[in-house]
A and B are shown apart, each in its own frame.
Chain A
Amino acid sequence: MSELTPSRLWSMRAAFTGLVMVILFFHLLPLQTAAGSWICPDFVLAFALAWSVRRPEYVPTLLLALAFLLTDLLLQRPPGLWALLALIACEQLKLQSRSLRDATLVTEMMSAAAWIVGIGLAYRIVLAILLVDVPPFGLDVIQIAVTVLAYPAVVAITHIFMGVRKATPNDIGGKGVRS
């Protein structure tokens, strides 16, 4: 089913771009103008990690970099830093994707969680070194925690609704039909 034709490859890349735009769209809706409201998970990062583990070829490096940079610009973060860290995390997971392909969901989640926590801390450390005003530590910790907790749900959505699944040897010629 996941036959890798160019049309499917490019349509999935377009789908990822669309997904990022939809997430940004819901972030920007003027619904939460009061302070001290909900902290929602960083869905762009979670989806990018989940897609990187499953199908590295659907999320090429350049697309990821542009998506993260756009997110930085639109969400009023210091531009570039979070994009840089998230890009490195995604690329590392892509390198591991071959071994994660056979691993269980728990292993994958641990790996993703380690990266989410790691870049969250690195982000704060770099900002602190460069004397940029950082948000309160508690807020950041909550955001990291909810992102880690949301990761399984993101994986489920990716797997079930978007049909982005880990490649298995059976995928190729499994049904005896190749286009």
Chain B
Amino acid sequence: MSDHLTQRINRKKGDAALAKDRAQVDYAGPLRRLVLAVLVLALAGVFLLWRIDSPRVERFRAQVTDAIVPNMDWAMAPVTGTINLVRDFQSYRRIAEQNTELRRELRQMQAWKEAALQLEQENARLLDLNNVRLDPRLTYITGVVLADSGSPFRQSVLLNVGARDGIVEGWATMDGIGLVGRISGVAQNTARVILATDASSRIPAIIQPSGQKAIVAGDNSAAPPIDFLENRELVRPGDRVVTSGDGGVFPPGLLMGQVAADPGGRLRVRLAADYERLEFLRVLRHYGNEPVSDTGDVLRPAALLAPEVGE
């Protein structure tokens, strides 16, 4: 009896609540549509503003990133460390075969080391003879990678150095060995590096030893293809690719990688930098190349010049 009563009361309460629910929805309907319309217009406005005035919105984006990502760093560092640890642990299973492979490589390396030592001595002697000074202005700032782009369509990383450390838009970034990318987007405490693999990256390069100029154009793959090559015949897989310094963005002579041909016969660059593990990056301070403006007087000695003047 009392059960029956409770059930009826409950049902009534349920009905009342449903009715209230419906009433709320009816009342909130126009308001909700208004809010939605305002938000849709605002988002469309943001997008159009970005399309029209991209640098301003990108600066805003850099500031938002600057405000949020460094705050996550305390949690990101241990999580990244743990995941890398697990990955390393998985790789222990292959340790035996790696070991033999490494031994084989080590034997080859010892041969190379001998050659390198001899070359180093020879090089030092020659440099000494020539009184060569390497460019003293090319110093660097080291930054730690905070975050990656978070999307498979963009290849970029975020460094923990920014305008506070004197980073300037466009500077080249390297890991210990090869070129990694270019600074694009500087906030107070962070800077974004567009990697050479990003689809928007175009880097003028020289292929040694043939001296062919080309553009290394990123396409979201691990090995960016080589474009605008003058004479393909002169380039062979294994040739070194270094930056040419054309356009004044990068200093010349930074190592990018080696030429490799993909199965389709297209030439690509196997990058020297270790893109799998980008942890510390060097940002090279670069204040532009000095343009060669005057013709060389040395080419025409004064003695030869004199008769011409006489005529």
| Chain A residues with a Cβ under 8 A of chain B | 24-25, 27-40, 61-62, 65, 68-70, 73-81, 83-84, 87-88, 91, 130, 132-133, 135-136, 139, 143, 169, 172-174, 176, 178
Contacts and interface: CB of A to CB of B under 8 A. Distances in A.
A171 B266 CA distance: 63
B127 interface: no
Q: Indicate the member of A29, A37, A76, A79 with the most B CB atoms within 10 Å.
A: A76
A31 B200 contact: no
A172 B44 contact: no
Interface stretch (B68-76, B91-99, B106-114, B244-252): B68-76
Contacts of A80: 43-50
Interface in B194-236: 195, 197-200, 218, 220-222
A39 B150 CA distance: 10
A178 to B, nearest CB: 7
A34 B35 contact: no
A25 B148 contact: no
B154 to A, nearest CB: 4
Contacts of A136: 220
Given A87-B40, A169-B18, A176-B10, A24 B46 contact: no
Interface in B105-162: 145-158
Nearest to B144: A30
A133 B221 contact: no
Interface of A is mostly: loop
A172 B149 contact: no
Contact of B80 (A30, A76, A176): A30
A62 B79 CA distance: 31
B163 interface: no
6 contacts: A33-B148, A33-B155, A35-B197, A36-B220, A80-B48, A172-B17
Interface string B33-46: 00110011011111
A156 B57 CA distance: 38
Nearest to A88: B40
Contacts of A62: 35, 39
Contacts of A30: 76, 80, 145-148, 157, 278-279
B14 interface: yes
B64 interface: yes
Contacts of A33: 145, 148, 155, 157, 195, 275-278
B83 interface: yes
Given A35-B195, A69-B43, A176-B6, A76 B149 contact: yes
Contacts of A173: 10-11, 13-14, 17
Given A30-B148, A62-B39, A80-B44, A35 B50 contact: no
Contacts of B147: 28-30
4 nearest interchain CB pairs? A80-B47, A27-B150, A80-B46, A135-B153
Given A75-B149, A91-B36, A35 B220 contact: yes
Interface string B159-191: 000000000000000000000000000000000
B150 A74 contact: yes
B300 interface: no
A80 B47 CA distance: 5
Interface centre among B40, B151, B200 (most CB of A within 10 A): B151
A81 B43 CA distance: 7
Nearest to B224: A35
Contact of B152 (A28, A37, A133, A172): A37
A153 B307 CA distance: 89
A73 B65 contact: yes
B103 interface: no
B200 to A, nearest CB: 7
Contacts of B45: 80
